[in-house]
Amino acid sequence: MNKLIAGNWKMNGSLAANEALLAALAQGLGQPGCDVAVCVPAPYLAQVQALCAATPSLAALTWGAQDVSAHASGAYTGEISAAMLKDFGCRYAIVGHSERRQYHGETDAQVADKAKAALAAGITPIVCVGETLAEREAGHTEEVVKRQLAAVIHTNGHCISEIVVAYEPVWAIGTGKTATPEQAQAVHAVLRAQIKAATEHFSRVKILYGGSMNAANAASLLVQPDIDGGLIGGAALKAADFLTIIAAARG
């Protein structure tokens, strides 16, 4: 199974900056030897789609959204449906990112519904789970991540084999702190066992690490047996760093 390196640009970018970043990626991407995606702010999906279509050296790059509505259509001002994302060629949609859970109050059930909406449109949800520093220090890491993933499994049933899971310890996102490879592997193993119990097709499910993976630590994380790639934040905005992480995923 190929590893997956997915960049999450978060609320960053501009027409000029995006073009420059993709141009720099185009120079070094080639045949990456792993799956590569960028999840970009919704206003720039059309630009990324067009640039990738017009740039042969970006043929290996797929793209996705950073969120998706649980609703198919209707009076939900400001929301973006999975069908709309599909119109722009989205392969992925991040759901349940800790920033959405923290700042927008998203619940486990809402995250599960968003994953369901993405799957129904043929988009792969990247389902984020992770604990806060307080939860880790209280010894609740396993309980928290299993609860968050269980909601998605419950809502999506046999389709669970079509998702991607991203373990992102909240205390390690954008803080410069990173779980040690051993800490990350331990949680990934827990999630792997949970997925294995839920579907006979468990081997299809990639589990990414999403807590400040960068050019310096990617190799040591990606060699862990249950880490199938990375959900990359800040380093995804720097072409050289992103390409270094992709090279580490190639092995």
pLDDT in tens, the chain (251 residues): 899 999 999 999 999 999 999 999 999 999 999 999 999 999 999 999 999 999 999 999 999 999 999 999 999 999 999 999 999 999 999 999 999 999 999 999 999 999 999 999 999 999 999 999 999 999 999 999 999 999 999 999 989 999 999 999 998 887 777 789 999 999 999 999 999 999 999 999 999 999 889 999 999 999 999 999 999 999 999 999 999 999 999 97
Amino acid 131: pLDDT: 96
Instruction: Specify the CATH number for the domain of residue 166.
Output: 3.20.20.70
- As a whole number of angstroms, the distance between CA 242 and CA 251 comes to 15
pTM of the model: 0.97
- SS3 letters for the chain? CCCEEEEECCCCCCHHHHHHHHHHHHHHHCCCCCEEEEECCHHHHHHHHHHHHHCHHHCCEEEEECCCCCCCCCCCCCCCCHHHHHHCCCCEEEECCHHHHHHHCCCHHHHHHHHHHHHHCCCEEEEEECCCHHHHHCCCHHHHHHHHHHHHHHHHHHHHHHCEEEECCHHHCCCCCCCCHHHHHHHHHHHHHHHHHHCCCHHHCCEEECCCCCCCCHHHHHCCCCCCEEEECHHHHCHHHHHHHHHHHHC
Print the domain residue range for 59: 4-250
Instruction: Give the chain's domain count.
Output: 1
Q: Which residues participate in catalysis according to the annotation?
A: 97, 168
